[in-house]
């Protein structure tokens, strides 16, 4: 349909519509940059903004103390070096007026206001299938007809209405931090209440307390707050930026949070108490959220134990700052891991409670009953007030989007209905069924878990580049597929298992809004990985998008952009950047040296009770072994363990992190066997060594400190092969008694023609050609069907109960499944874990592939069941010294 026809049709409906290529809703950080980029790319665009001027967040949030909490040198546009040179921030954390001035400066510099209709709220949006355009209705002036509709409406722009009865009855003044009057508020000498203790409250309370006659703070949930130590931009960060601005900005774009800090590799248990405290004090003194959230130790954001150390150190600070112990206790958070809810930056927040004119009311103990004409009454008390300030936060991430209602997409479907069970998006940018519709920092993007300036620039660049490419290729519509969107939902869920955010009820999950469907809305996989995924979508031919154009032109490369677990993807990407030669090209000695070197760089595994080395008589001479014991008093059931390495590499210590982790999770003793390797010792040496060692360990269990009786066997990869073979040999050769077998990604057969060998031939570290090499070194073709190397070819009846783990992206996947199924068909009790998105090394890369934890939890449960123990490790058996709310949160989560 021609533009003229569209115009006629639109004017028939609602008067003359403004015709543009793109409508942008919102004139904050996102909307402004969009208008600039769209104009440069040759699109006609209009900005529609409810506010009276540009600024978004910084237009509305004018409460006392309003500042950014990402250092301002990072919280700025970076798209134009000349703009960067033209503006100097006066403070480390700029105030709202300064940020608003900056956004006004940007609007002037690029002459953006001429394309913005202020005081114009978008009320409805409808996709017109015939014209392939959006029709946008506003509360002020002409509607808009546009090819593309972009909501740059902000994550924190829809203030949450108060949930308390009687607000209308109150005769005093009422203010909302998110809609603070432009000419300020005089609180001097007044009795003021602040309801809420989120970020806005924590910023404003110290300043309100200085003015008010009395301030009463009503707190439902305490937050962790850290001193901002505001002042001039810190010299260390400034010199980093100024010495090489381009690199600094590039690192920010690739970082996890959008601020260039290195990835920490040291984990908490590798540091002494004094070292941890030193790191913490340094972070506390730095007054920098990203620093304290990311730079203490590598496990602080992913592991409850690593996180609890930080929580405890902050609690100490709160106790030291607040004189009244009861007030200090009420201000101390216990219900969420540090960082799972956005921590706040403060200036004198805790000390403010030492003032005689400040009272804290703990709503957990004393809920508000009503707001009356003269103040607030709780269960126990009445507070006479002149002013009530609501600092109750926002209907975050989706509030402003859903406030435009309806947004009607293809087939008359409304976005509110499509999102009835929570937001679903592809990349957080687009929604299936809503062509030519984009959100900037929408749910499913890093958004509020990042420096939003960096995220916004990335989104805007990506969207505008796509629109330009679409136009240049002659297409008129772009829309994600259901497959891609569902895949993104899965990837989001996988990412959420990486961090502790899922363990807190917060505005990240919608928990602050009654009736809102709960689920973690921001993308937790990090800014850099997110950017690389968006780029991958493009490099793979707009993967997951359907593009259409005139005369039936269409392009759809359907699929899911990320099928790997997020941390597996990171590991594989990192390995790819190392450009390592194939292991099989190194020769056996070279490969062993490489693996030893490689293993030195990995986290060593957590402390356990004791590690003891020894030798045992193997099939043909002594074999080394290493015993890993729990911290608790024995005797413990014994697991005989066989390491991986294709019968060629590794030794009794090479799977140490895995053994330590399993000892902690099972409360059982692991004896790792140093069986002999090919090519020096070819088939059937490894198998016979494995069997002989198991027999000896079973006979000497008590001597080793273990529980006499049946042993269990476990192994990974070629070690899984040896464990499986050992069970068959033990059955056929009269013992020892084996109570259960754990086979992790085992080799079970010599056939290479199962699909997983082709599907995962390259790219997942264990390659098909590496497997060929291992086989060639270990076993001549004539021997390969022998059950002592291909247990799938052996008798699989009457074997011990088995837990078989296979990984989706592993050449060995299908033979592992085949072995599990063969045993099950033969009547062996078998449980399978088919690990989606994992690769061959996922479960042994302990503390690297974090998403492997839940698999190891299941493995440990199985081993305990096989040993006749209750599936859950009891407190008495565990290595963990303390119980705590944090631990209970973690237990609930797992
Ligand atoms: C107090 C506060 C401090 C913050 N500090 C930081 C920080 O330090 N670092 C950080 O990264 N982030 C911070 N944020 C998050 C902040 O929201 C973003 O950094 C950024 O400002 C978002 O820009 P935006 O353009 O996407 O959205 P916004 O700035 O929220 O702008 C959206 C605009 O859309 C308009 N709008 C919405 N719906 C409609 C409609 N239907 N019709 C017309 N107009 C509409 C709104 O009026 C608003 O002006 C803070 C947020 C708050 C509230």
Q: Given this model, what pLDDT does residue 166 score?
A: 83
* Number of neighbouring beta carbons within 10 Å of residue 136: 25
* Residue 430, pLDDT above cutoff 90: yes
* Residue 879, pLDDT above cutoff 50: no
Atom of ligand 1 nearest to the CA of 68: 8
Say which residues have a Cβ less than 8 Å from residue 575's Cβ, sequence separation at least 6: 765
For residues 204 and 358, the answer to whether their CB atoms sit within 8 Å is no
Q: Which of 139, 452, 453 to mutate to test the pocket of ligand 1 (most atoms within 8 A of CB)?
A: 452
CA distance 377 to 643: 66
Atom of ligand 1 nearest to the CA of 26: 34
Instruction: Report the separation in Å between the CA atom of 624 and the middle of ligand 1, taken as the mean of its atom positions.
Output: 62
For the residues of 107-131, what is the DSSP string, one character each? HHHTT-GGGEE-S--EEEEEEETTT
103 lines ligand 1 (CB under 6 A): no
56 lines ligand 1 (CB under 6 A): yes
Q: Is the dihedral of CA 233, 239, 243, 246 positive or negative?
A: negative
Q: Given this model, what pLDDT does residue 12 score?
A: 45
Strands 368-371 and 122-128: unpaired
Instruction: Report the separation in Å between the CA atom of 154 and the middle of ligand 1, taken as the mean of its atom positions.
Output: 4
**Mean pLDDT across the chain:** 94
**Structure confidence by residue, pLDDT tens digits, 709-753:** 999 999 999 999 999 999 999 999 999 999 999 999 999 999 999
Q: Given this model, what pLDDT does residue 63 score?
A: 97
Instruction: Report the separation in Å between the CA atom of 152 and the middle of ligand 1, taken as the mean of its atom positions.
Output: 9
* Residue 888, pLDDT above cutoff 50: no
Q: Average pLDDT for residues 506-521, to the nearest whole number? A: 89
Instruction: Report the separation in Å between the CA atom of 875 and the middle of ligand 1, taken as the mean of its atom positions.
Output: 47
**Structure confidence by residue, pLDDT tens digits, 659-682:** 999 999 999 999 999 999 999 999
**Structure confidence by residue, pLDDT tens digits, 204-260:** 999 999 999 999 999 999 999 999 999 999 999 999 999 999 999 999 999 999 999
Give the H or E element holding residue 219: strand 214-219
136 lines ligand 1 (CB under 6 A): no
Atom of ligand 1 nearest to the CA of 61: 1
As beta bridge partners, residue 192 has 215, 387
SS3 of the chain: helix, strand, coil, percent, to 5: 40, 20, 45
> Where are the alpha helices (H) located in 377-439, listed in sequence order?
399-403, 415-418
CA distance 76 to 58: 13
3-state SS of 470-490 is: HHHCCCCEEEECHHHHHHHHH
559 phi-psi bin (left φ>0, alpha ψ -120 to 50, beta other): left
CA distance 56 to 776: 65
Q: Given this model, what pLDDT does residue 885 score?
A: 37
Q: Average pLDDT for residues 51-72, to the nearest whole number? A: 97
Say which residues have a Cβ less than 8 Å from residue 318's Cβ, sequence separation at least 6: 328, 331, 332, 350
Percent of the chain with pLDDT over 90: 89
- Residues 108-132 as b/e (b if ≥16 CB within 10 A, e otherwise) read eebebbebbbbebebeebbbbeebb
Instruction: Report the separation in Å between the CA atom of 389 and the middle of ligand 1, taken as the mean of its atom positions.
Output: 20
For residues 73 and 233, the answer to whether their CB atoms sit within 8 Å is yes
As beta bridge partners, residue 617 has 622
Residue 407, SS3 per DSSP: strand
57 lines ligand 1 (CB under 6 A): yes
Instruction: Report the separation in Å between the CA atom of 56 and the middle of ligand 1, taken as the mean of its atom positions.
Output: 5
Q: Average pLDDT for residues 863-872, to the nearest whole number? A: 91
566 lines ligand 1 (CB under 6 A): no
Q: Given this model, what pLDDT does residue 380 score?
A: 86
Q: Given this model, what pLDDT does residue 875 score?
A: 58
Q: Given this model, what pLDDT does residue 165 score?
A: 80
Q: Given this model, what pLDDT does residue 604 score?
A: 82
Q: Given this model, what pLDDT does residue 139 score?
A: 97
What is the model's pTM? 0.93
**Structure confidence by residue, pLDDT tens digits, 573-628:** 999 999 999 999 999 999 999 999 989 888 888 899 999 999 999 878 999 999 99
Atom of ligand 1 nearest to the CA of 31: 25
Best-predicted range by mean pLDDT (1-10, 300-309, 596-605, 875-884): 300-309
Instruction: Report the separation in Å between the CA atom of 28 and the middle of ligand 1, taken as the mean of its atom positions.
Output: 6
Poorest-pLDDT segment among 360-364, 482-486, 498-502: 498-502
- Confidence at 890, pLDDT banded by 50, 70, 90: very low
Short-list 545, 649, 547, CA closest to 597: 649
pLDDT, greater one: 509 or 539: 539
Instruction: Report the separation in Å between the CA atom of 180 and the middle of ligand 1, taken as the mean of its atom positions.
Output: 14
Percent of the chain with pLDDT over 70: 96
**CA distances to 69, 119, 330, 893 from 224, in Å:** 14, 37, 12, 21
**Structure confidence by residue, pLDDT tens digits, 172-199:** 999 999 999 999 999 999 999 999 999 9
Q: Between vectors from CA 349 to CA 347 and to CA 352, what angle results, nearest 5°?
A: 115
Residue 297, SS3 per DSSP: coil
Q: Average pLDDT for residues 305-327, to the nearest whole number? A: 97
49 lines ligand 1 (CB under 6 A): yes
451 lines ligand 1 (CB under 6 A): yes
Q: Which residue's CA is the closest to the ligand 1 atom numbered 9?
A: 70
Q: Given this model, what pLDDT does residue 876 score?
A: 56
Q: Which of 23, 32, 48, 56 to mutate to test the pocket of ligand 1 (most atoms within 8 A of CB)?
A: 56
For residues 349 and 225, the answer to whether their CB atoms sit within 8 Å is yes
Q: Which of 24, 25, 26 to mutate to test the pocket of ligand 1 (most atoms within 8 A of CB)?
A: 26
CA distance 229 to 243: 24
292 lines ligand 1 (CB under 6 A): no
156 lines ligand 1 (CB under 6 A): yes
**Structure confidence by residue, pLDDT tens digits, 5-51:** 444 444 445 459 999 999 999 999 999 999 999 999 999 999 999 99
Q: Given this model, what pLDDT does residue 877 score?
A: 58
* Number of neighbouring beta carbons within 10 Å of residue 34: 29
Q: Average pLDDT for residues 276-292, to the nearest whole number? A: 97
> Where are the alpha helices (H) located in 194-272, listed in sequence order?
199-211, 235-243, 245-254
Instruction: Report the separation in Å between the CA atom of 193 and the middle of ligand 1, taken as the mean of its atom positions.
Output: 26
Q: Which residue's CA is the closest to the ligand 1 atom numbered 7?
A: 68
Beta strands in 367-502 (DSSP E): 368-371, 375-378, 382-384, 387-390, 407-408, 437-439, 477-480
Atom of ligand 1 nearest to the CA of 403: 41
For residues 615 and 689, the answer to whether their CB atoms sit within 8 Å is no
């Amino acid at each position: 349909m021609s533009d003229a026809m569209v115009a006629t049709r639109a004017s028939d409906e609602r008067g003359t519509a403004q015709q543009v290529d793109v409508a942008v809703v919102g004139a904050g950080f996102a909307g402004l940059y969009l208008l600039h980029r769209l104009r440069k790319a040759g699109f006609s665009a209009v900005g529609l903004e409810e506010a009276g001027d540009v600024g978004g967040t910084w237009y509305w949030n004018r409460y006392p103390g309003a500042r950014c909490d990402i250092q301002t040198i990072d919280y700025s546009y970076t798209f134009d070096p000349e703009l960067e040179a033209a503006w100097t921030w006066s403070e480390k954390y700029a105030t709202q007026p300064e940020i608003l001035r900056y956004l006004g400066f940007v609007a002037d510099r690029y002459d953006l206001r001429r394309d913005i209709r202020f005081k114009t709220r978008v009320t409805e949006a409808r996709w017109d299938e015939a014209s392939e355009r959006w029709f946008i209705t506003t509360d002020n002036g002409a509607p808009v007809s546009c090819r593309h509709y972009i909501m740059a409406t902000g994550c924190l722009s829809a203030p949450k209405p108060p949930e308390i009865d009687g607000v209308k009855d109150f005769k005093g003044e009422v203010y909302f931090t998110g809609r603070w009057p432009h000419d300020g508020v005089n609180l001097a000498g007044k009795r003021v209440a602040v309801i809420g203790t989120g970020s806005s409250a924590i910023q404003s309370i110290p300043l309100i307390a200085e003015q008010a006659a009395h301030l009463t703070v009503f707190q439902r949930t305490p937050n962790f707050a850290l001193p901002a130590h505001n002042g001039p931009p810190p010299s260390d960060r400034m010199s980093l930026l100024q010495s090489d601005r381009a690199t600094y900005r590039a690192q920010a774009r690739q970082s996890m949070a959008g601020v260039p800090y290195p990835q920490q590799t040291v984990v908490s248990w590798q540091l002494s108490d004094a070292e941890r405290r030193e790191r913490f004090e340094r972070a506390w003194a730095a007054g920098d959220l990203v620093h304290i959230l990311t730079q203490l130790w590598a496990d602080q954001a992913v592991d409850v134990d690593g996180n609890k150390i930080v929580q405890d150190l902050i609690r100490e600070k709160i106790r030291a700052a607040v004189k009244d112990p009861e007030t200090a206790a009420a201000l101390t958070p216990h219900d969420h891991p540090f960082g799972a809810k956005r921590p706040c930056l403060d200036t004198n927040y805790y000390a403010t409670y030492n003032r005689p004119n400040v009272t804290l009311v703990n709503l957990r103990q004393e809920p508000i009953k009503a707001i009356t004409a003269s103040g607030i009454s709780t269960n126990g008390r009445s507070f006479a007030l002149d002013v009530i300030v609501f600092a109750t936060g926002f209907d975050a991430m989706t509030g402003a989007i859903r406030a435009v209602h309806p947004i009607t997409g293809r087939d008359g479907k409304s976005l509110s209905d499509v999102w009835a069970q929570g937001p679903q998006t592809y990349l957080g940018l687009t929604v299936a069924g809503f062509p030519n519709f984009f959100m900037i920092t929408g749910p499913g993007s890093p958004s509020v878990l990042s420096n939003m300036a960096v995220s916004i620039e990335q989104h805007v660049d990506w969207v505008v580049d796509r629109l330009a490419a679409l136009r240049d290729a002659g297409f008129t519509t772009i829309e994600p597929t259901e497959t891609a969107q569902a895949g993104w939902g899965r990837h989001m869920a996988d990412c959420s298992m990486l961090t502790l955010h899922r363990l807190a009820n917060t505005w990240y999950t919608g928990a602050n809004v009654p009736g809102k469907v709960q689920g973690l809305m921001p993308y937790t996989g990090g800014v850099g990985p997110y950017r690389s995924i968006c780029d991958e979508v493009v490099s793979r031919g707009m993967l997951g998008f359907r593009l259409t154009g005139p005369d039936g032109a269409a392009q759809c490369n359907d699929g899911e952009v990320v099928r790997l677990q997020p941390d597996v993807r990171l590991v594989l990407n990192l390995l790819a950047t190392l450009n390592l030669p194939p292991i099989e090209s190194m020769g056996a000695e070279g490969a062993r040296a490489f693996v030893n070197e490689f293993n030195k760089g990995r986290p060593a595994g957590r402390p356990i009770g004791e590690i003891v080395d020894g030798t045992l008589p193997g099939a043909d001479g002594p074999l080394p072994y290493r015993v890993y014991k729990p911290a608790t008093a024995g005797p413990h059931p014994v697991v005989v363990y066989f390491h991986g390495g294709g019968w060629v590499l590794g030794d009794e210590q090479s799977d140490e992190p895995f053994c330590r982790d399993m000892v902690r999770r099972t409360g059982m003793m692991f004896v790792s066997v140093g069986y002999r390797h090919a090519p020096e010792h070819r088939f059937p040496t490894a198998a016979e060594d494995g069997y002989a060692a198991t027999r000896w360990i079973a006979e000497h269990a008590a001597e080793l400190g273990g529980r006499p009786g049946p042993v269990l066997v476990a192994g990974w990869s070629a070690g899984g092969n040896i464990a499986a073979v050992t069970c068959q040999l033990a059955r056929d050769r009269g013992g020892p008694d084996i109570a259960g077998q754990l086979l992790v990604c085992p080799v079970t057969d010599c056939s290479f023609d199962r699909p997983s060998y082709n599907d995962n031939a390259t790219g997942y570290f264990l390659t098909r050609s590496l497997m060929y090499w291992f086989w060639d070194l270990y076993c001549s073709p004539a021997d390969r069907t022998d059950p002592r190397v291909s247990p799938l070819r052996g008798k699989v009846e009457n074997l011990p109960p088995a837990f078989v783990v296979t990984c989706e992206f592993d050449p060995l996947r299908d033979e592992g499944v085949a072995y599990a199924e063969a045993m099950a068909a033969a009547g062996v009790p078998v449980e399978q874990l088919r690990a989606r998105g994992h690769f061959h090394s996922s479960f042994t890369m302990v503390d690297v592939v974090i998403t492997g934890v839940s698999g190891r939890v299941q493995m440990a449960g199985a081993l305990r069941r096989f040993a006749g123990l209750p599936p859950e490790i009891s407190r008495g058996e565990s290595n963990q010294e303390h119980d705590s709310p944090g631990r209970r949160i973690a237990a609930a989560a797992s």
